[in-house]
Amino acid sequence: MTEEEVKAMHESMDKNSEFREARYRVDAYDNFIPIELIEDYVEWYTDDEISRPEGYEGDWYEDDWWLQDHKEFERAMVQLYEDTEGVRGWRVKRDFSKVPTKDVFDLYRVYQSLPLGSARMGYRIENPDLDAWLVLSKGYKPATGEPKEILPRDVELAERLAEMKKGGQELPVFRG
């Protein structure tokens, strides 16, 4: 078989989730992943909820949140890199300092859906955790001053849009 034929065969077999999981389970054993972390290894490489969807260009933190919940797995992957002299595994642990909590990211989704200007600034002032994250991760200047009145309909609409975006729904197009 040619290399291309083997690749095509693997792609075809990977469509079967049981085969795909079994293949990564074997891979984990081949890499001497500790027994108690085998299922984490399989989940990391097979769970589509963790990896950024192909073509998605927005902020993505599902993989970071997963790793924060599976610290031993991340340590094992860094150790694998050291043990194999860089052939397999991960070179360094991830820096999570700019990763928002899930709650802050939900606030960010609402923030992104608000109209530009005073509505966004007011929302940042009312949500200091969001503001701190925007300053740290996006390089924004800290929000200052008194919050301007944010129209409840703006926040309600922004929250609905954020929920739609989170659920993968297509957002409506507004024309003025």
The pLDDT score that the predictor gives to residue 174 is 44
Q: Which residues of 155-164 are buried (b: 16+ CB within 10 A; e: fewer)?
A: bebbbebbee
- Alpha-carbon distance of 55 to 52, in angstroms, equals 8
Domain that residue 32 falls in: 3-83
Is the pLDDT at 168 greater than 70, yes or no?
A: no
- Say if 14 falls within a structural domain: yes
- Say if 44 falls within a structural domain: yes
Percent of the chain with pLDDT over 90: 55
The pLDDT score that the predictor gives to residue 102 is 95
The pLDDT score that the predictor gives to residue 175 is 39
Cβ 66 vs Cβ 48: under 8 Å: no
Higher-confidence residue: 46 or 173? 46
> For 30-81, how does the pLDDT look when each residue is reduced to its tens digit (9 = 90+)?
999 999 999 999 999 999 899 888 888 889 999 999 999 999 999 999 999 9
Is the pLDDT at 4 greater than 70, yes or no?
A: yes
The pLDDT score that the predictor gives to residue 143 is 93
- Say if 88 falls within a structural domain: no
- Say if 60 falls within a structural domain: yes
- Say if 176 falls within a structural domain: no
Based on the structure, what is the number of domains in the chain? 2
- Say if 172 falls within a structural domain: no
Are residues 75 and 135 located together in one domain of the fold? no
Nearest to 17 by CA among 44, 37, 38, 46: 46
Q: Examine the fold and report which residue of 83, 112, 140 is the final residue of a domain before the chain moves on.
A: 83
